[in-house]
Amino acid sequence: MTTRTPLMAGNWKMNLNHLEAIAQVQKLAFAMNDKDYAAVEVAVLAPFTDLRSVQTVIEGDKLKIKFGAQDLSPHDSGAYTGDISGAMLAKLNCAYVTVGHSERREYHGETDELCNAKVKAAFKHGLTPILCIGEGLDVRKAGNQVAYTLAQLDGGLKDVPAEQAETIVIAYEPVWAIGTGEVATPEDAQEVCGAIRGRLAELYSQELADKVRIQYGGSVKSGNVAAIMAQPDVDGALVGGAALDPEEFVKIVRFRDQ
């Protein structure tokens, strides 16, 4: 049985300018200790304009917080006005990048095909993609959440080789639970996270599936994180709103104490 280190990642979305980002990282660093870092991997996913400042604070003070971006271009460079490449993120020592967050799928029309290209671009540049998948309310009401989410997984991983796939992070984020306060029950989270691991075993191998970390995201707070983390196939949380409050985020990192 593989032991997977939980990954607690704060997705700041379009919040915190670079000065606020510096303060946020310092508050997190001040509140966390070696015991926390030994038990859980902690990451912040910041807006592009914050990344240089976040990198400077983390590397300057040798903090154990990982950092990353919220999107990347599928291209390496060129005439793509407004886009940011994986090479640029890698140059800033980003560890992670989210791909296919539901807000990108919804507001920027990102398809599984594009997400697949972005996953490949992330790996090409040595970044770990956090591939976000999850169903909307209509799909959930129709009871099709597993099939829908697994189709997104298949699309995102198309032609991704095993040696890359074994390091990916998958975030199951039911869209109806994002920013709504409507958290999925631990059983809802387990149903789909377990199915994701099952599909990874079919696509690759059980050994690979046992290594991949699967996060839950959607209205995670200190009050509900422990029950979600108690599920066997949930290996972390992708936290939106609650990650903007450093005290609350640290409580989430310390889910075992809640």
Active site residues per annotation: 101, 173
**48 or 201: CB nearest ligand 13P:** 48
Are 200 and 209 in contact, with CB atoms under 8 Å apart? Answer: yes
Cα separation, 106 vs 98, whole angstroms: 15
Find the part of the chain contacting ligand 13P (CB under 6 A) among 87-95, 104-112, 206-214, 240-248: 240-248
Find the part of the chain contacting ligand 13P (CB under 6 A) among 21-29, 73-81, 82-90, 234-242: 234-242
* Backbone φ, ψ for residue 108 (5° rounding): -125, 10
Q: How far is the CB of 152 from ligand 13P (least distance, A)?
A: 15
Using DSSP's 3-state secondary structure scheme, residue 238 falls into strand
Question: Does residue 219 bind ligand 13P (CB under 6 A)?
Answer: yes
Cα separation, 49 vs 34, whole angstroms: 29
**148 or 249: CB nearest ligand 13P:** 249
Q: CA separation (Å) from 256 to 10, 40, 92, 184? A: 18, 10, 32, 19
Among 99, 153, 178, 195, binds ligand 13P (CB under 6 A): 178
Are 50 and 16 in contact, with CB atoms under 8 Å apart? Answer: yes
**203 or 227: CB nearest ligand 13P:** 227
Are 32 and 253 in contact, with CB atoms under 8 Å apart? Answer: yes
Q: How far is the CB of 237 from ligand 13P (least distance, A)?
A: 8
Question: Does residue 179 bind ligand 13P (CB under 6 A)?
Answer: yes
Q: How far is the CB of 234 from ligand 13P (least distance, A)?
A: 14
Task: Give the angle 212-183-122 at the CA atoms, nearest 5°.
Answer: 35
**72 or 208: CB nearest ligand 13P:** 72
Binding residues vs ligand 13P (CB under 6 A): 11, 101, 173, 178-179, 217-220, 238-242
